[in-house]
Amino acid sequence: MCKLIAPLALLLTLLPAVADAPSCPLAVADLEKFLETLPRSCRKDSDCEGYFCRADSCARAVVLRQGKLSPGREKQLLALQGSVREACAAEFAIRPACSPMPFRAECRRNTCVDVLAGKAPGLPTVKKRSSAYPVATIRHACGPTDGPALQITLSKVPNPGAQDARLFLTIYGNLPDPPLSEPRTYRLDPQTGGDGARCPKSNDCETAERGTLVLDTFSGHGATGSYKLHFKDGSVEEGSFTATWREVPEHCG
């Protein structure tokens, strides 16, 4: 399919010139129209991936179903990209270089979308799901080997007691430094440096089989982001959070 996580400008310089190129807006519109026809159907998040296929190297990724294009469609894509290169050469020449924009590919309503993008060409607006656990705090904690960790606690009420349900999102690998310059995604899997758990009550907890935690912001005041946890019984806990710092004394090691 498209080249993954790489500036499109590099690809376009390798293509031959296209004769009788249309105007820049028309060429871009033709490419976007083609991109909208690419497959986006999915059943789970891992079916989806982001590809930098748009004409503008500063533009967001196109989130599609993973897989390769047929030779015919790949040839059509390259031709449309080449047409944009010719039509927009003067405009692109005066633009500054860009780093790839972050994306998060997820399966929503059986469609692959970039949940960090909001409304993008050809894609529906995706709103973050409100959490069933509206109260969130974040603190420094201890990892499985007593190393440094960050833990976000989500609850339904402030100052939850022993009978109140909670979710715990813990990361202990590649910890962020404040302030966070761009969103960062963590896999919640004990083998990858994080885990998630739900506890209907104290001492009655279940660890998620897999999950993700996205930190949109992280600073000395707290953190914002979203999460999605998959459990053994097929249930899913997901939502967004705004967490404030609440340190709890804990001795590691």
DSSP for 34-54, please give it. Answer: HHTTS--B-SSGGGEEEE--S
Low-confidence ranges of the chain (pLDDT < 50): 3-21, 118-127
Give 205-247 pLDDT, tens digit per residue: 999 999 999 999 999 889 999 999 999 999 999 999 999 999 8
* Per-residue model confidence (pLDDT) at position 11: 39
* Per-residue model confidence (pLDDT) at position 140: 92
* Per-residue model confidence (pLDDT) at position 90: 75
As a residue count, the chain comes to 253
* Per-residue model confidence (pLDDT) at position 102: 85
* Per-residue model confidence (pLDDT) at position 129: 57
165 contacts 134 by C-beta, under 8 angstroms: no
Burial of residue 85, with CB atoms counted within 10 A of its CB: 0-12 exposed, 13-18 middle, 19 or more buried: buried
Beta bridge partners of 48: 65
* Per-residue model confidence (pLDDT) at position 16: 41
Rounded to two decimals, the pTM is: 0.51
Burial of residue 142, with CB atoms counted within 10 A of its CB: 0-12 exposed, 13-18 middle, 19 or more buried: middle
247-250 contact pairs (CB < 8 A, 24+): 247/139, 247/140, 248/139, 250/140, 250/141, 250/142
197 contacts 205 by C-beta, under 8 angstroms: yes
Selection from 85, 10, 24, 98 nearest residue 58 by Cα: 98
212 contacts 187 by C-beta, under 8 angstroms: yes
Selection from 241, 7, 236, 233 nearest residue 107 by Cα: 236
* Per-residue model confidence (pLDDT) at position 42: 93
Residues 6+ apart with CB under 8 A from 108: 115, 126
Give Cα 68 distance to the centre of its chain: 21
Q: From CA 149, how far away is CA 172, in angstroms rounded?
A: 4
